[in-house]
Amino acid sequence: MMRQYELVERVQKYKPDANEALLNKAYVYAMQKHGQQKRASGDPYISHPLEVAAILTEMRLDESTIAVALLHDTIEDTSATRAEIDELFGEDIGALVEGLTKIKKLDLVSKKAKQAENLRKLLLAISDDVRVLLVKLADRLHNMRTLDHMSPEKRARISEETMDIYAPLAGRMGMQDLREELENLSFRHINPEAYETVTRKLKELSERNEGLIRKIEQELDELLAANGLAEAQVTGRQKTPYSVFRKMQSKSLSFEQLSDVYAFRIIVGDIPACYRALGIVHTRWRVVPGRFKDYISTPKQNDYQSIHTTIVGPSRQRIELQIRTQRMHEIAEYGIAAHSLYKDGENGESDSPHSNAYALLRRTIESLAEGDNPEEFLEHTKLELFQDQVFCFTPKGQLINLPRGATPIDFAYAVHTNVGDTCVGAKINGRIMPLVTRLNNGDEVEIIRSGIQVPPPAWEEIVVTGKARAAIRRATRAAVRKQYSGLGYRILERTFDRAGKSFSREGLKPVLHRLGQKDVEDAIAAVGRGELSSLDVLRAAFPDYQDERVTVKPSPDDGWFNMRSAAGMVFKLPGRTKAALEDQEQSGAGPEALPIRGLSGNAEVHFSAGGAVPGDRIVGIMEKGKGITIYPIQSPALQRFDDEPERWIDVRWDLDEANNTRFMACIIINALNEPGTLAEVTQTIATSDINIRSMSMTRVAADFTEVEIHLEVWDLRQLNQLLGHLKELQCVSTVERVFE
């Protein structure tokens, strides 16, 4: 375990005037607060913040950031408070520590929403001070290094989160070494078999080619020195298991087919020397076509600069070369931490010429935070953090950086949201091309616009950037919100009225966070679309409200269920036949009950002709002369009532495990017209414990017959299992469920 004095000595090596008293004070405070806490490995908990601080010393960060690393878990895991840390260490350090603290008490319905809100809090803290990011990445790196002591499930979850969020985030900030280590550690736990296989093969290759890296280094050294670049530093390495595996996956290659497992770096004194070294190498060895990239003249968004080329080099070995200056190398290794702006402990401004990556991250966070619910924020953040890029230009020469695979739609939204919303076409290099065209490096893109255009929802499946996807969803929501807001409002009014409560838009504002919605109109429209239950809204507004349940009991005299609510109101619902109920009475079984929520009033209730089964999302429709008809939400018959929202009733299943009632569903089978087909089908149905209510057959071709079967099933799961079994029969061509 790292010792306190060793940590202080590390900081003083690169900053002799460091505030030693601050470091000692932070260490003592963290030690006292964490007390006897232990990590999963059994080590004292204080070992973790010490190791996180040690990682940051490798980036040569200031003592304030090191102190934050020592304190970063105190608010979250001990009795420490923000006010206490502000008083002892100052508001600057207190704000950083709080930015690293997860939100413990989130009153949200979804666990995914909680994860997203914690990520949102972290990113917003990063947008205020990038040192939050540096400490968080060091914290995650040490946790990944010590992950073996966790349960397999927790290792997999943490590794996936690291691969999805933190490794790309490190890459976006230009911290390539840290990104590679995070990816490799995650790969080991996400896909241990592949990790072991690739690692073993790399070891075998290294043993076969023992001394090859050193030999190539010497040849490159001698070549550069002979041509006036004696100061050049050449280093080589074997690629990491994850980078090898990723290339195998992306290129669909086996390990034996990979030819560029080795990478070499040439570091020279200045930019002109970079191009001299490139010319020397290309003159001596053959270049692999299509593998040259100049990130010096066109830097990446994260400030990365280097020349990349692949050659068939010494020993006829294909190798990758990176050529850069020492300053470029520091930025490539440590990314944003390499800027003296942050070493001095200052906050970065978005217009700083030394913080392009940080400014980009701040703009990304701002765009992600516009109008998205937590789950969308999480999804869009993942999209934005992946780094492979193409560089395109506007007709006026403005450079637009986009992820690989981006389309003109992504380009339009990258220029401006209004440009994307009004895009109707695009010219790529002067030619009109489809909007689904994948852009390449160097393309000049001109967007054709129309003032009456509204982005189609289908665009969401085409774009690859989070900004474009978020903007399309916002535009789609705005377009459909009017359609569903009226319906949602009427549904909520009826639900609140049945509960004896008064509904108002103002009353929803305090509980929006519980519903995962940004504003009242979004919540009302979500109810209209069926994405949010009106009863959930009612319970959010009135937590003490007890649901009124409607109980359905069989009436043996007519084959219908009599429905009686808690208020004494009676409804009817079709159930099993009279004969079946008489059999039940003779067997001594008691009457069955079917709880349903959402109905009130004195009206007859029945299912639509196509039936509905527990597990279906259902709605009720008030029909003249028929009472209330229950439809599955997929029923095409519901289209008849689109313009009559006042007739829609929000209902849902509420069955317990003791339910003994079957429900009707209809399927259509297209089967071979040969002896034994019907027997196979009916045998499969019987084996699945499903009853056939009725059946009809129609010859649709010389060799095929269409069989329509009305079934009685327990629930949707049983029905789906039957459909799967029927599809496996050789005599069955197609099978599908049908609705009225």
Condensed to tens digits (0 to 9), the pLDDT of residues 125-162 reads 666 777 888 888 899 999 999 998 888 888 988 898 88
Condensed to tens digits (0 to 9), the pLDDT of residues 96-131 reads 888 787 644 444 444 555 556 666 666 666 667 778
Candidate from 479-488, 491-500, 534-543 with smallest mean pLDDT: 479-488
Residue 537 contacts residue 515 (beta carbons within 8 Å): yes
Based on the fold, state whether residues 107 and 138 are members of the same structural domain: yes
Q: Which residues of 41-61 are buried (b: 16+ CB within 10 A; e: fewer)?
A: eeebbbbbbbbbbbbbbebbb
Return d(Cα 472, Cα 410) in angstroms, integer.
11
Residue 92 contacts residue 174 (beta carbons within 8 Å): no
The two three-digit tokens of residue 412, written as one number: 């339009």
The two three-digit tokens of residue 93, written as one number: 């350090």
Which of 554, 170, 621 lies closest to 385, judged by CA? Answer: 170
pLDDT value at residue 288: 85
Based on the fold, state whether residues 9 and 114 are members of the same structural domain: yes
pLDDT of 411 over the 90 cut: yes
pLDDT value at residue 267: 93
Residue 640 lies in a domain: yes
Based on the fold, state whether residues 526 and 554 are members of the same structural domain: no
Average pLDDT value for the chain: 78
pLDDT value at residue 25: 92
Q: Which domain holds residue 489?
A: 474-541
Return d(Cα 644, Cα 490) in angstroms, integer.
11
Number of domains in the chain: 5
Average pLDDT over residues 332-337: 71
Residue 422 lies in a domain: no
Based on the fold, state whether residues 536 and 591 are members of the same structural domain: no
The two three-digit tokens of residue 69, written as one number: 């690393």
Return d(Cα 70, Cα 51) in angstroms, integer.
9
pLDDT of 626 over the 90 cut: no
pLDDT of 622 over the 90 cut: no
Provide the pLDDT confidence category of residue 66 given band limits of 50, 70 and 90: very high
Domain ends where: 320, 338, 356? 338
CATH number of the domain encompassing residue 302: 3.30.460.10
Partnered with residue 294 across adjacent β-strands are 307
574 vs 81 pLDDT, higher one: 81
Q: Which residues carry out catalysis?
A: 76-77
Provide the pLDDT confidence category of residue 591 given band limits of 50, 70 and 90: very low
Provide the pLDDT confidence category of residue 506 given band limits of 50, 70 and 90: confident
DSSP 269: S
Return d(Cα 295, Cα 281) in angstroms, integer.
18
3-state class percentages of the chain: helix first, strand second, coil last, to nearest 5 = 50, 20, 30
Based on the fold, state whether residues 485 and 614 are members of the same structural domain: no
- Letter for the amino acid at 206? S
Residue 236 contacts residue 217 (beta carbons within 8 Å): yes
Residue 377 lies in a domain: no
Which of 371, 648, 376 lies closest to 527, judged by CA? Answer: 648
**Element (H or E) spanning 268, and its range?**
strand 262-268
pTM: 0.53
Task: Give the rounded percent of residues in the chain with a pLDDT score beyond 90.
Answer: 18
Task: Specify which of 83-87, 205-209, 385-389, 674-678 reaches the highest per-range mean pLDDT.
Answer: 83-87
Provide the pLDDT confidence category of residue 709 given band limits of 50, 70 and 90: very high
Residue 720 lies in a domain: yes
CA 367 to chain centre: 17
Candidate from 57-66, 641-650, 659-668 with smallest mean pLDDT: 641-650
Based on the fold, state whether residues 137 and 24 are members of the same structural domain: yes
pLDDT value at residue 589: 36
477 vs 508 pLDDT, higher one: 508
Average pLDDT over residues 208-220: 84
Residue 249 lies in a domain: yes
Which of 26, 57, 15 lies closest to 142, judged by CA? Answer: 57
pLDDT of 549 over the 80 cut: no
348 vs 599 pLDDT, higher one: 599
571 vs 366 pLDDT, higher one: 366
CA 681, 685, 687, 688 torsion: positive or negative?
positive
pLDDT value at residue 109: 42
Domain ends where: 289, 312, 338? 338
Based on the fold, state whether residues 92 and 212 are members of the same structural domain: no
Q: Which residue has the tokens 């009991």?
A: 553
Based on the fold, state whether residues 109 and 18 are members of the same structural domain: yes
pLDDT value at residue 590: 36
Provide the pLDDT confidence category of residue 300 given band limits of 50, 70 and 90: confident
Based on the fold, state whether residues 81 and 109 are members of the same structural domain: yes
pLDDT value at residue 116: 62
- Letter for the amino acid at 372? D
| 427 CB-near residues (< 8 Å, 6+ apart) | 433, 445, 446, 448
CATH number of the domain encompassing residue 175: 1.10.3210.10
Based on the fold, state whether residues 20 and 137 are members of the same structural domain: yes
Residue 441 lies in a domain: no
Based on the fold, state whether residues 209 and 263 are members of the same structural domain: yes
Return d(Cα 676, Cα 304) in angstroms, integer.
69
pLDDT of 351 over the 80 cut: no
Provide the pLDDT confidence category of residue 554 given band limits of 50, 70 and 90: very low
Residue 140 lies in a domain: yes
Provide the pLDDT confidence category of residue 338 given band limits of 50, 70 and 90: low
| 513 CB-near residues (< 8 Å, 6+ apart) | 107, 108
Condensed to tens digits (0 to 9), the pLDDT of residues 229-260 reads 888 999 988 888 998 888 888 777 788 777 67
CATH number of the domain encompassing residue 704: 3.30.70.260
Residue 697 contacts residue 707 (beta carbons within 8 Å): yes
Residue 403 lies in a domain: no
Based on the fold, state whether residues 255 and 333 are members of the same structural domain: yes
Task: Give the rounded percent of residues in the chain with a pLDDT score beyond 70.
Answer: 78
**Element (H or E) spanning 262, and its range?**
strand 262-268
Domain ends where: 509, 541, 573? 541
